């Protein structure tokens, strides 16, 4: 029997459409994901949000972004988690202000069936499917090594850390102290914990430098403390005598790197944290959980005046797109 040419065409078209549908990684179901950050006020988090929104667009997700005003307010984070669960979130992308005190809220969300992805700062919960962020011990080692490689003679070190309940800050401090100790030519003179706000960090750093004029190296472990430490060094006129290693990318610390109040930056990849966090949430919700790794290191790099204008450094410093309004 002769087959109609139109019948052949329709069969071919159906096969093409079937192949197109099966090759697409995105389902027609729009899952609901909530990202609860540590803050919404810094360039670091704006970069995280840009990455998260790019992934949400790519994977057809409904994304809600929340965060407290300051990086000390873990109680507000816990309430945001509870509210997200109540509102029907299917997955949480979460960055813990307090490793221990955020755990109960995350455990309760998981018991309600919500998938949990941790980014930037982990939380003390077995419900976390994956952690995506910096190897913070190694980042602390990098910060110390940046000073050891660029400052000759004896190093008298002051460390500007933030919330003592932050696992990130404590791991960075531990990595830095171990590296300085192993060098045999550095002494950690003083360690302070300040609020993760530039004004407080500046005030506390100025007090530290006045109390310990022998300090010739400063390490600051996140964006707000780095901005505050740079402002303190500039205000006291110590740019020539104090070598400052900061963290992350902020217009003020980048300016300081060019002008002298900052000498090196340990730059993370917050855009990747946001993007991979939301992508992982999608995979967990769409039956692709086996492809989600337990830990993903988003890497760091050291930027100083010598490599500031290299392509790699520029990409690291200015990685994020402006967040959609």
Domains of the chain: 32-134+269-299 (3.40.50.2300), 136-267 (3.40.50.2300)
Classify residue 230 as left (phi > 0), alpha (psi -120 to 50) or beta: alpha
Average pLDDT over residues 218-236: 97
| H or E segment and range at residue 180 | helix 167-183
On the question of pLDDT at 207 being above 80, the answer is yes
Task: Look up residue 38 and give its two tokens.
Answer: 């540590």
Structure confidence at residue 300 (pLDDT): 96
Distance CA 312, CA 301 (A): 9
Interatomic CA distance for residues 286 and 261, integer angstroms:
48
What is the C-alpha to C-alpha distance for residues 131 and 182, in angstroms, rounded to an integer? 29
The residues that bridge with 132 in the sheet, in sequence order, are 119, 296
Helix (H, G, I), strand (E, B) or coil at 67: coil
pLDDT score for 293:
96
pLDDT of res. 246: 98
How much is the pLDDT for 20? 42
β-pair type (301-304, 264-267): antiparallel
Structure tokens at 170: 């404590």
pLDDT for res 28: 63
- Does residue 22 sit in helix, strand or coil? helix
Note the pLDDT of residue 164: 85
Q: How far apart are CA 82 and CA 89, in angstroms?
A: 10
**Whole-angstrom Cα distance, residue 34 to residue 65?**
6
Percentage above 90 pLDDT, the chain: 84
Res. 138: pLDDT tops 50: yes
Dihedral pair phi/psi, residue 112, rounded to 5°: -85, 0
CA dihedral 35, 75, 97, 189 (to 10 degrees): 160
- The pLDDT, as a whole number, for residue 322 is 44
pLDDT at residue 27, rounded to an integer: 57
Four-CA torsion 195, 199, 202, 207, nearest 10 degrees: -80
33 φ, ψ to 5°? -125, 135
Alpha-carbon separation of residue 322 from 90, 137, 318, 325 (angstroms) = 27, 30, 10, 9
Nearest CA-CA partner of 44 in 188, 293, 224: 224
- Give the mean model confidence (pLDDT) for residues 61-81: 96
Find out whether 123 and 94 touch, Cβ atoms under 8 Å.
Answer: yes
Which helix (H) or strand (E) is 255 found in, with range? helix 251-259
pLDDT at residue 21, as a whole number: 40
Query: Is the pLDDT at 244 greater than 80, yes or no?
Result: yes
User: What is the sign of the dihedral through the CA atoms of 303, 248, 46 and 113?
Assistant: positive
Phi, psi torsion values for 204, nearest 5 degrees: -70, -35
Q: Average pLDDT, stretch 267-280? A: 97
Region 118-124 average pLDDT:
97
Of the ranges 131-135, 167-171, 314-318, which one carries the lowest mean pLDDT score?
Answer: 314-318
Q: How far is CA 234 from CA 158, 227, 267, in A?
A: 16, 11, 21
Rounded-to-5 percentages of helix, strand, coil across the chain:
45, 20, 35
Summarised one tens digit per residue, pLDDT across range 179-190 is 999 999 999 999
Helices (DSSP H) in 24-73: which residue ranges? 43-58
Average pLDDT, integer, range 255-266: 97
pTM summary value: 0.86
Number of Cβ within 10 Å of residue 288's Cβ equals 13
Strands (E), the chain: 32-36, 62-66, 91-94, 115-119, 128-133, 155-161, 186-193, 217-220, 243-247, 264-267, 295-297, 301-304
Q: What pLDDT is stored for residue 317 in this prediction?
A: 86
Instruction: Read off the pLDDT of each residue in 291-304 and give the average, rounded to a whole number.
Output: 96
Q: Does residue 129 sit in helix, strand or coil?
A: strand
């Amino acid at each position: 029997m002769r087959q109609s040419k139109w019948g052949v065409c329709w069969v071919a078209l159906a096969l093409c459409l079937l192949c197109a549908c099966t090759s697409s990684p995105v389902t027609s179901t729009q899952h609901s994901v909530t990202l609860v950050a540590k803050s919404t006020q810094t360039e670091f988090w704006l970069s995280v949000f840009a990455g998260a929104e790019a992934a949400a667009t790519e994977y057809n997700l409904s994304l809600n972004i929340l965060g407290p005003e300051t990086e000390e307010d873990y109680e507000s984070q816990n309430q945001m988690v509870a509210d997200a669960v109540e509102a029907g979130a299917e997955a949480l992308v979460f960055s813990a202000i307090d490793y221990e005190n955020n755990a109960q809220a995350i455990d309760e969300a998981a018991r309600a069936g919500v998938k949990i992805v941790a980014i930037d700062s982990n939380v003390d919960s077995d419900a976390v499917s994956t952690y995506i962020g910096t190897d913070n011990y190694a980042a602390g080692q990098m910060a110390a090594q940046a000073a050891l490689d660029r400052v000759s003679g004896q190093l008298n070190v002051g460390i500007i850390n933030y919330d003592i309940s932050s696992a990130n800050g404590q791991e960075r401090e531990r990595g830095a102290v171990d590296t300085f100790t192993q060098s045999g030519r550095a002494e950690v003179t003083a360690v302070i914990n300040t609020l993760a706000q530039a004004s407080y960090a500046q005030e506390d750093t100025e007090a530290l430098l006045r109390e310990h004029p022998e300090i010739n190296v400063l390490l600051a472990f996140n964006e707000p403390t780095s901005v505050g430490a740079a402002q303190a060094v500039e205000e006291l006129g110590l740019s020539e005598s104090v070598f400052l290693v900061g963290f992350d990318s902020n217009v003020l610390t980048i300016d300081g790197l060019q002008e002298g109040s900052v000498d090196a930056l340990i730059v993370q990849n917050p855009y990747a944290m946001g993007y991979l966090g939301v992508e992982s949430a999608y995979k967990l919700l769409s039956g692709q959980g086996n492809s989600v790794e337990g830990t993903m290191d988003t890497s760091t790099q050291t930027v100083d005046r010598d490599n500031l204008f290299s392509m790699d450094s520029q990409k690291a410093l200015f990685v994020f797109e402006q967040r959609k309004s």
